[in-house]
Chains A and B, each alone.
Chain A
């Protein structure tokens, strides 16, 4: 299959990422099952079971694509059956009606399917979740009717018969070219999932799906990533559709109904979304068992199908493979690292290169008279702020004073009603969050956007491709192997903050905007954290802006403090300047207790 060239464009070298070990094992295992299964029925000469298994392979290919879309990119689609249908239809028409050569027909089929898939994906730029699920479902529902509307072009009334061709000839024994092609594509699609899952591209898809804001502040374009995800999954569905014509040799509007889209969705979810072997398990349980093994049940087949789906979901909501994995984990006492990461090695590894003051402009960020209202609530009313390069700047203020809104306006997640924001000497007021991030503006969130299915390392390396000589790169390389074995889901809350900070540091930002970074950290972790920030500032010349509640930390660590209240910056200065400032004393009763 040629599908594995979907490596991100931005990758410096066209080299495929190494498969993660567990995934590689699972992919090999799944491929062997497919191979052995088809080989066994081919050898036995049972043409019925061969047909059944090959159709199962088609469903597997389409389901693998849907698995990427659903579990990796977190997009709802009930339309994969329709994409498959379009590809099949175009192939059939090209062969039998337009009388084009086979290779051209296949190419047109793939193109047609991809086009249909992308048409369906366009709404994903606007709508998400159930709404997107509906839009794709509408496409699947309307498609048979559209074939009939275009009945002169689609031959909807008669359907299209495709005559047998050389693909049905034997390569050796009773293995036909078609059998070979289907098996190769099925195995290819399994490895495609493993590859995407192991790649930075896959991790980007995930973060863009889970948290578009976080993706944007890493400089990624969530919309583009969604389209790419739809493209990959449509390619899978299209391959399945083209092969369908080879297998069934007939298509009519009734061949691809919503039922197929629903079956594919069932296969992914019941098999275990996000796993490599999941769709395979799903196909076996939901297609081969009811339609093959139990086909003589006739009237009871539907009941069995429903019961299988219901029971699996009832007992193992994360699907068969997810359940099996949990079972294995429970039986094998976990020897992997417990979920603690230490910043110490990273801090130690950072180069201490003092960036001379003359090399940097003294002002990195300027916020001028920014206002923002949500309905009747005036969140920002003319906030003005200046942040010098290489400083640790803290924003404090009571709850609801507009601190986070200010941070969102700076990082571009909300568009201010008025006012200007200047970053690194450039007016970025109209720029998207993505573009600001690419200009060097990074941020973290109050609730860390950590992906629990990923290892700690994968969570760090899910943004743009980091610069090879970034200051943090060397020290991260040191811990990579170890951190790749720690599941992020085992990390305590405070440590997830470290992780998020490291993720943005990996992007070599000029400004690091942190939203309440110390919340949930222990005393020693705070000290470790402040040290890290200091070293980052020293070695990279980056600037740190943090919104923080912990005044002890702010007073001891920050170079400059801005006090926000009522959507405006009401005071500004070094800790010592502000300590005795009367206008803010009433805002912070705790401040008076600060020592030093």
Chain B
């Protein structure tokens, strides 16, 4: 019993990281129909920043200063990358160029990281104090990620219902063309979505730096897991992403526990494919009425 509680809580903690990546992917997807495969690189970038500049504990005020700087810089970078990604899509030729440009952006960011800091392996300790868990301890980073996830969910909801730009973003997710004809500055809003998503990812990477492997070659790995979670939850659905993300984390842990660590990834992915076969639009996905 104690084991199961430990697996559940730690699974949720692991899942929170993927859920955050998925929520940030959804945010951009809703605003522009694009999955930003470069998002994983922002996660890594935040980890790199934590390695170089952040003190080893959150008790140090500098830790928070660095956090703010990291969030601002990465949000700006994400907005810029968003503008570059969306620019070619404004021509009517092909609407799938983003798959390439976002992956390419990820490769370029990774290559620049490789050139500037070298190919070294970077590890960062957990700056948060541990918390007690049924007679054991658990990393504070898990708790921090879970709290941040809940916060993101509520803030996003509030923002998209109460703030003007949030409402406009919401409108974009319904119908980009209609929003454009209604005089909404689509590009500016889409860049905003990229920036917010970048900020969320940056915080996730900064909080979870001790959990992720901070290497540019792992960036795509994280974004694919985030993508997985978004797909299973139902594209564009944040509640679905959170649910699927947490479930994903718990399943990973449980498979390792019950079936062994070497089955972890194949078994989990198999389960997800099975879920998709039963629910082709994801667990919380809406079946769009077919326009015939």
Contact = CB atoms under 8 A, between A and B. Distances in A.
Q: Is the interface of A mostly helix, strand, loop or mixed?
A: helix
A307 B94 contact: no
B108 A413 contact: no
Q: Pick the most buried of A128, A134, A319: most chain B CB atoms within 10 A of its CB.
A: A134
Interface string A275-315: 00000000000000000000000011011011101100111
Given A142-B265, A149-B263, A131 B108 contact: no
Contact of B266 (A128, A137, A142, A300): A142
B94 A317 contact: yes
Contacts of A135: 273, 276
Interface string B88-116: 11010110110111011111101110110
Interface range on chain B (Cβ under 8 Å from partner): 35 or more
Interface in A493-519: 515
B95 to A, nearest CB: 8
B88 A309 contact: no
Interface stretch (B7-15, B50-58, B125-133, B224-232): B224-232
Contacts of B35: 130
B231 A270 contact: no
A145 interface: yes
Given A135-B276, A138-B273, A310 B101 contact: yes
Contacts of A319: 94
B235 interface: yes
A306 B224 contact: no
Given A123-B273, A142-B270, A317 B104 contact: no
Contacts of B91: 317
A306 B231 contact: no
A136 to B, nearest CB: 10
A301 B168 CA distance: 42
Nearest to A211: B292
Interface in B208-263: 220, 224, 227-228, 231, 235, 262-263
Interface string B146-186: 00000000000000000000000000000000000000000
A142 B221 CA distance: 12
Given A130-B35, A303-B111, A123 B100 contact: no
A18 interface: no
A318 B100 contact: no
A435 interface: no
Contact of A303 (B87, B112, B231): B112
A265 B99 contact: yes
Interface in A122-145: 123, 126-128, 130-131, 134-135, 137-139, 141-142, 145
Given A213-B290, A303-B112, A313 B107 contact: no
Contacts of A227: none
A302 B280 contact: no
B181 to A, nearest CB: 19
A306 B280 contact: no
B104 A306 contact: yes
Contact of B227 (A126, A134, A314): A134
Nearest to B100: A313
Contacts of A138: 228, 269, 272-273
A302 B110 contact: yes
A148 B97 CA distance: 35
B281 interface: yes
B115 A299 contact: yes
B88 A315 contact: yes
A404 B228 CA distance: 36
B289 interface: yes
Contacts, number: 127
Interface residues of A, number: 48
Q: Pick the most buried of B111, B114, B270, B272: most chain A CB atoms within 10 A of its CB.
A: B111
B66 interface: no
A374 interface: yes
Q: Pick the most buried of B103, B266, B281: most chain A CB atoms within 10 A of its CB.
A: B266
A451 interface: no
B198 interface: no
Interface in B34-62: 35
B277 interface: yes
A35 B227 CA distance: 41
Interface in A327-380: 374
A445 B228 contact: no
Interface in B8-31: none
B277 A145 contact: no
B88 A314 contact: yes
B282 interface: yes
A322 B292 CA distance: 30
A373 B111 CA distance: 54
A214 B275 CA distance: 28
Contacts of A177: none
Contacts of A128: 280
B84 interface: yes
Nearest to B106: A306
Interface in A37-80: none
Given A123-B277, A131-B280, A302-B110, A266 B103 contact: yes
Nearest to A127: B280
Given A149-B266, A310-B104, A302 B114 contact: yes
B111 A141 contact: no
Contacts of A266: 100, 103
Given A269-B96, A303-B115, 10 more contacts: A130-B235, A137-B224, A145-B262, A306-B111, A310-B104, A313-B97, A317-B94, A318-B94, A319-B94, A515-B292
11 contacts: A126-B276, A139-B269, A142-B266, A258-B220, A262-B103, A269-B99, A269-B100, A302-B107, A302-B111, A313-B101, A515-B292
What are the nearest 6 A-B pairs in CB distance? A306-B107, A303-B111, A306-B108, A309-B104, A310-B104, A317-B97
